[in-house]
Structure 1
């Protein structure tokens, strides 16, 4: 199976052939994958080099002309390093564009902490008007990328090497009910779904699958809870990122919320992706223990 980043390159190349409104701005990362596309569209495939602030600034300028820019690099260089440009060149100017990241929270541990970005979604959450997609499979990445490219708003598509084994239908806005139960609700975000399903096997819980986390699907969550709600959110980035959104959605319902994700402490032994998942308590065995302890605590078990 190809990776989400492979699918991004193939899909964006086709989109550039199909839609003259689109432009792609790169900062060296993935540039080799777009060499043929750049030869076909030299004015609409721009590599600014290792200049991430310029990457966003150029995209913002393209957006002001009425075109639709797609900007791409590692998440830490796409959201964190040029955050001022994201805030001003898109938010303040009220223009639209698509940010497409690679690297996720720790997809390339050998690259060190400079190439890790567990706080990207939380950081974008400080800005108004951003849609955030977190696909869990390359097919979902393609669908959400096409959805983003066709729009006019501000969109972040967060790609990862982590992937679920099976693709799910995604619409670009709603949570999907994967499993139904009565003992609580677990929201699995993007590539965390398979581990959540393994962790909750045999537990009486509803599992919701989220590939779009902003805007947050209040309707699906409220439909899944009863008169009292216990909710666990398992996200592949900074723990607690969606806790406030969940609390807001259930403001008039007695509820408890636990956010599971990447901890704030820095892990300095970089290891592998699987080792990071285990160290963060996001592998199936750890998730089962943490989810069970939270959900059953109220029941005195």
Structure 2
């Protein structure tokens, strides 16, 4: 199976061919995927070199001329390093762009902590007006990329990951999907953690929601689920643990509730190892999730 990042180049190349507003801005990373596209559209495929602040600034400039820029590099270089440009060049100027990241939280452990960005979604939460897509499969990534580019002039972040569920599911860029229904709690799985969550909750009397678009947060789906399953909610996110806890608390502020936020911990893992070892170390494998979810919901759930 191809990866989400494998899908990115061909999908955006087709969008370049289809829509004269679309432009791609790169900072060396991913440039090989657009070699042919750059020959056909030399004025709309821009490689700024290893200059991430300029990457975002150039994207914002294109947006201000009426273009729909797709801006791509690793998450740590796309959100963290040029954060001031996200805040000012895009946010302050009301300019829209599609930011597409790779490497996610710890997809390339050999790259070290400089190439890890588990706090990217939490950091974007400090800014106004961002849509955030977190696909869990290459098919979902393709659909959400097309949604993002077609989303007028909005600010959109598409978080691609090397981690993937075994099968893609229909996604619409807005709503959560209900995959299981129970009466003893709600477990919300985000993007590529779904398969581990489904295994971890097998046999448990819980509702499982699946989210690939987390901002805006589908509060209506959560409220519907909690009316039937109760207001104990477990969030399982493939980035910083607790990133969406405040959103859930706001959604359920009118009723007594409990929230457990599971995800990537703050402690830096300095023995980089393999991706699967990071998943286990952060307690995001199925066995660890089952223990943690079971302990939170209580015996007999």
TM range (shorter): over 0.9
Cα-to-partner distance string for 1:100-154 (whole Å, 9 max, x where unaligned): 0000000000000000000000000000000000000000000000001011200
2:25 is the alignment partner of 1:25: yes
Matched with 1:165 is 166
Matched with 1:296 is 298
Equivalences for residues 120-269 of structure 1 within 5 A: 120-151=120-151, 152-226=153-227, 228-269=230-271
1:33 Cα shift?
1.1
Aligned equivalents of 1:253 and 1:206: distance in 2?
18
Aligned equivalents of 2:236 and 2:272: distance in 1?
22
Q: Secondary structure at the match of 1:260?
A: strand
Cα-to-partner distance string for 1:238-284 (whole Å, 9 max, x where unaligned): 00000000000001011000000000110101011110010000000
Q: Normalising by structure 1, report the TM-score.
A: 0.98
Matched with 1:283 is 285
1:226 Cα shift?
2.5
Instruction: List gaps (5 residues or longer) in structure 1.
Output: none
Q: Secondary structure at the match of 2:227?
A: coil
1:170 Cα shift?
0.4
Aligned equivalents of 1:287 and 1:275: distance in 2?
15
Matched with 1:74 is 74
Aligned equivalents of 2:246 and 2:275: distance in 1?
28
Aligned equivalents of 2:272 and 2:182: distance in 1?
37
Matched with 2:47 is 47
Spell out structure 1 runs of 4+ moving beyond 4 A. none
Aligned equivalents of 1:8 and 1:87: distance in 2?
25
Aligned equivalents of 2:162 and 2:88: distance in 1?
30
Instruction: List gaps (5 residues or longer) in structure 2.
Output: none
Aligned equivalents of 1:26 and 1:250: distance in 2?
41
Aligned equivalents of 1:76 and 1:202: distance in 2?
38
Matched with 1:109 is 109
Q: Secondary structure at the match of 2:220?
A: helix
Aligned equivalents of 2:131 and 2:113: distance in 1?
26
Aligned equivalents of 2:247 and 2:196: distance in 1?
23
Matched with 1:98 is 98
Aligned equivalents of 1:295 and 1:10: distance in 2?
44
Q: Secondary structure at the match of 1:28?
A: coil
